Amino acid sequence: MFLPHSYSLILGTKNVPIRKVSHSAPTVKRTSWLEGMVAAMKPDASATRARIVAAARGEFSVHGLAGARVDRIAVAAKASKERLYAYFGDKETLFRAVVEDGFARFIEEVPFSIDDLGGYAAREYLHLAAHPEEHRLLLWTQLQGGMAASGTDDIHSVIAERRNAMAAAQREGLISDAFTVDDLITMMFGITSAWMTAPSRACESADDAEIRRRASKIEAAVRRLCTP
């Protein structure tokens, strides 16, 4: 299965040279070239940009890039279309900014532990269950033909550190080396997102108890997958 670059950010499958590093990942600061420009504008510029990104997240998750309407985003954000274009230039750039912001929040909010990949996968599922629009954005990105979200240097650094930590754990015999790191990460994400993509289950609603049950099954499955 072809994984678009947007998936590579969340999965960590971007082709980055593997080297042995510390198992702890640095704190990610969400930054981009846009933020420098925004900071130089009037004091409420950052708040306006945040409203635009939030409104765009909802619009893109429902309609995708092609079907999304800039005028609806502007109305929902309580901002003018002119302000939106001044910040982002065009709709595709805004889409990329939304996806990138989602990846950055995911990295910040889902603690990674090389010593407990099953628990990490469960936390990953709980995050996506709490933010279903993020998973829909990933699917829309794939339908767009794998349009890349560039990501920041900080995000790419965290991805590389996580891949390197897994490679080191394989060398030390702590996790299974039956699969490559990239294959292992890809299968982990497949297990994590199974209930959101399986045709017979994707549209089902789930209460808190069911979500916790699924998370426990994901944790057990990934632990079995990773056990050497």
Of 82-96, 141-155, 187-201, the range with the lowest mean pLDDT is 141-155
**Predicted confidence band at 155 (pLDDT cuts at 50, 70, 90)?**
confident
**What residue ranges in 147-219 does DSSP mark as E strands?**
none
Q: Which two tokens stand for residue 4?
A: 């678009």
Query: What average pLDDT does this structure show over 134-160?
Result: 76
pLDDT of residue 52: 96
Residue range 56-107, pLDDT digits in tens: 999 999 999 999 999 999 999 999 999 999 999 999 999 989 988 998 899 8
Query: What average pLDDT does this structure show over 195-201?
Result: 80
Residue range 32-42, pLDDT digits in tens: 544 544 444 45
204 vs 222, residue with greater confidence? 222
Report the predicted TM-score, pTM, of the whole model to 2 decimal places: 0.75
pLDDT at 205 over 70: yes
pLDDT of residue 197: 86
Mean pLDDT of the chain, nearest integer: 82
Nearest to 150 by CA among 9, 3, 2: 9
H or E element, residue 212: helix 208-226
169 vs 13, residue with greater confidence? 169
C-alpha–C-alpha distance, residues 111 and 130, integer Å: 15
Of 63-77, 84-98, 141-155, 163-177, the range with the lowest mean pLDDT is 141-155
pLDDT of residue 138: 86
pLDDT of residue 201: 67
189 CB-contact burial (10 Å; exposed 0-12 / middle 13-18 / buried 19+): buried
pLDDT of residue 178: 96
Query: What average pLDDT does this structure show over 190-217?
Result: 87
Q: Which two tokens stand for residue 23?
A: 């198992």
Calculate Rg over the CA atoms of the chain: 18
In the chain the domains, ranked by start, together with CATH numbers, are: 5-11+32-226 (1.10.357.10)
pLDDT of residue 158: 85
Q: Which residues of 51-76 are buried (b: 16+ CB within 10 A; e: fewer)?
A: bbbebbbbbbbeebbeebebeebbee
pLDDT of residue 148: 52
Who contacts 213 (Cβ-Cβ below 8 Å, separation ≥6)? none
Report CA torsion sign: 52, 58, 59, 61: positive
Q: Which two tokens stand for residue 183?
A: 């294959």
C-alpha–C-alpha distance, residues 222 and 227, integer Å: 8
pLDDT at 162 over 80: yes
